[in-house]
């Protein structure tokens, strides 16, 4: 009984440890959740649909891409493909974090992968590297507040978006390119970043002018990825083994 109480107390401590670490993420993602909801409504989503997208996809950049293409009346399968492409980086997080959480029960793992976002991966991986265990309760304490606030704030943003009379004056239509540019610049420390961005930029502009939207997205992305694949590996800084 006493031992149980102690272990329960420790588990609760783990949960709140996670919650404490989640707070900066909650604060930093709040404007983007509200922005997502606002732009989603501006691009033809209902409040419920904006709310559902946040609750089910739970990936900021990919949701922004989704509503941007939805607003451009792109074919549904291409919207889904683009969401998949933007989220594809999670494959690497998943392979990395999989080693840390493989001992959890399967259902806990299944939930763990659902909330595996960029900061969730970064913080959990940092904890594992410092030699501390990545337990389910701690992981949930870290991820749950971020999820709950993300979904609620998306809904609030959508309600708010309905109330804005002049979206042009507030720049709502051009906030996404600024946001996407910020994300692109955030990757600039990656190997081959400059040639990849240059190739994708040129190819997407040419495709936009010739083939037309929405194909510039796929064509531009493929150009950058193919360039990264065909350049000799020693330029890309990967494959080096210590």
Partner 1 sequence: MSTTFWIILAGAVATYLTRVGGHLVISRFENIHPRVEAGLNAVPAAVLTTLVAPELLHAGPAEWAALIVTVLVSLRGGLMAMFLAGAAVLILARQFVG
Binding residues for partner 1 restricted to 110-169, rule: CB under 8 A: 110, 113-114, 116, 168-169
User: Which of 10, 84, 148, 162 is the binder for partner 1 (CB under 8 A)?
Assistant: 84
User: Which of 87, 108, 125, 159 is the binder for partner 1 (CB under 8 A)?
Assistant: 87
Within 10 A of 33 (CB to CB), how many other CB atoms are there? Answer: 24
Distance of CA 123 to the CA centre of its chain: 15
What is the Cα–Cα distance from 199 to 222, expressed in whole angstroms?
Answer: 9
Tell me if residue 202 falls in helix, strand or coil.
helix
Beta carbon of residue 17, minimum distance to partner 1 (angstroms, whole number) = 23
Beta carbon of residue 109, minimum distance to partner 1 (angstroms, whole number) = 8
Point out which span in 6-14, 60-68, 129-137, 149-157 binds partner 1 (CB under 8 A).
60-68
Beta carbon of residue 155, minimum distance to partner 1 (angstroms, whole number) = 14
Point out which span in 10-18, 45-53, 128-136, 148-156 binds partner 1 (CB under 8 A).
45-53
97-113 exposure pattern, b = at least 16 Cβ within 10 A, e = fewer: beebbeebeeebbebbe
Q: If you ran DSSP here, which 8-state letter would residue 190 be given?
A: S
Q: Does 16 bind partner 1 (CB under 8 A)?
A: no
Phi, psi of 210 (to 5 degrees): -100, -70
User: Which of 88, 122, 133, 210 is the binder for partner 1 (CB under 8 A)?
Assistant: 88
Q: Does 211 bind partner 1 (CB under 8 A)?
A: no
Q: Does 36 bind partner 1 (CB under 8 A)?
A: no
Q: Does 7 bind partner 1 (CB under 8 A)?
A: no
Q: Does 68 bind partner 1 (CB under 8 A)?
A: yes
What is the Cα–Cα distance from 192 to 179, expressed in whole angstroms?
Answer: 21
For residues 67 and 43, the answer to whether their CB atoms sit within 8 Å is: yes
Six token digits for residue 126: 């940092």
Query: Would you say 45 or 138 has its CB closer to partner 1?
Result: 45
Query: Would you say 15 or 117 has its CB closer to partner 1?
Result: 117
For residues 83 and 65, the answer to whether their CB atoms sit within 8 Å is: yes
Footprint of partner 1 on 170-189 (CB under 8 A): 170-171, 174-188
Distance of CA 93 to the CA centre of its chain: 12
For residues 191 and 236, the answer to whether their CB atoms sit within 8 Å is: yes
Q: Does 25 bind partner 1 (CB under 8 A)?
A: no
């Amino acid at each position: 009984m006493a031992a149980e109480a102690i272990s329960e107390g420790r588990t609760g401590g783990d949960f709140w440890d996670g919650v404490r670490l989640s707070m900066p993420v909650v604060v930093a993602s709040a404007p983007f959740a509200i922005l997502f909801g606002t732009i989603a409504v501006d691009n033809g989503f209902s409040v419920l649909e904006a709310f559902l997208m946040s609750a089910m996809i739970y990936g900021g950049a990919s949701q922004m891409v989704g509503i941007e293409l939805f607003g451009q009346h792109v074919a549904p399968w291409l919207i889904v493909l683009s969401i998949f492409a933007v989220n594809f980086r999670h494959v690497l997080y998943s392979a990395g974090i999989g080693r840390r959480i493989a001992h959890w029960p399967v259902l806990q793992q299944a939930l763990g992968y659902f909330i595996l976002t960029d900061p969730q991966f970064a913080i959990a991986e940092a904890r594992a590297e410092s030699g501390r265990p990545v337990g389910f309760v701690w992981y949930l304490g870290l991820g749950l507040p971020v999820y709950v606030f993300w979904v609620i704030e998306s809904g609030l943003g959508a309600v708010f978006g309905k109330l804005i009379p002049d979206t042009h004056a507030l720049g709502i239509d051009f906030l996404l390119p600024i946001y996407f540019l910020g994300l692109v610049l955030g990757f600039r420390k990656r190997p081959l970043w400059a040639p990849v961005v240059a190739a994708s930029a040129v190819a997407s502009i040419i495709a936009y002018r010739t083939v037309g939207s929405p194909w510039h997205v796929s064509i531009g992305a493929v150009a950058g990825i193919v360039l990264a694949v065909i350049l000799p590996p020693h330029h890309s800084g990967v494959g080096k083994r210590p």
